[in-house]
Amino acid sequence: MQIKDLIPWVRKDSAPESKSGDGNPIATLQREMNQVFESFWNRFGHLEWPWGSGEARSDMVETDNAIEISIELPGMEMKDIELTVTDDMLTLKGEKRIERQEEKRGYYLSERSYGAVYRTIPLPPGVDGDKAQASFKNGVLTIRLPQTPEAQAKVKRIEVKNG
């Protein structure tokens, strides 16, 4: 037996067929490795974490006289949230720590859940940060940022006519 007998793409009798027809063994190996990883992740389906990459889901809506932002923070409490605002940026920092221990006859259970969120949201010009208000209910943080009278005055409606 020679060393070339151990390398699968060197043996002519068992060479893998190339899908692209390029015959490049490295490209074939890469394609096969990609298939292995894809099949691994497909087995679990689409996993959805509460805060994917340290971000919380949010909505921003402009009303007639304010900007309203809603941010989902499941499992957090008000004491876990730090919220700051500057002229052009809203910053949210939060961390949840949940520990649960349970002892019953025959078993012992201990669960811990940790999560941190850090989010900065750019604000449109004309937001009055000094009059910002925030409320937290059922895991949803709602921030209301009134617009300055100057910002409200700059909005002009344009009439659309048939044409």
Q: Are residues 65 and 21 in the same domain?
A: no
Q: Are residues 83 and 130 in the same domain?
A: yes
Instruction: Dig out the tokens for 132 from the structure.
Output: 């910002």
- Asked if residue 70 has pLDDT above 80, the reply is yes
Mean pLDDT of 117-132: 86
- Per-residue pLDDT tens over the stretch 37-65: 777 666 655 444 444 444 578 899 988 88
Mean pLDDT of 81-99: 86
99 domain residue, yes or no: yes
Structural domain that includes position 62? 58-153
- Asked if residue 1 has pLDDT above 90, the reply is no
Kindly report which listed range (52-66, 74-88, 124-138) carries the lowest average pLDDT score.
52-66
**Number of domains the chain contains:** 2
Give the residue with greater pLDDT, 116 vs 46: 116
Q: Are residues 86 and 116 in the same domain?
A: yes
User: What pLDDT score was predicted for residue 18?
Assistant: 47
51 domain residue, yes or no: no
Q: Are residues 107 and 131 in the same domain?
A: yes
Q: Are residues 31 and 64 in the same domain?
A: no
Residue 64 CB partners (closer than 8 Å, separation 6+): 152
Q: Are residues 148 and 71 in the same domain?
A: yes
Q: Are residues 130 and 62 in the same domain?
A: yes
Give the residue with greater pLDDT, 7 vs 87: 87
Give the global pTM.
0.55
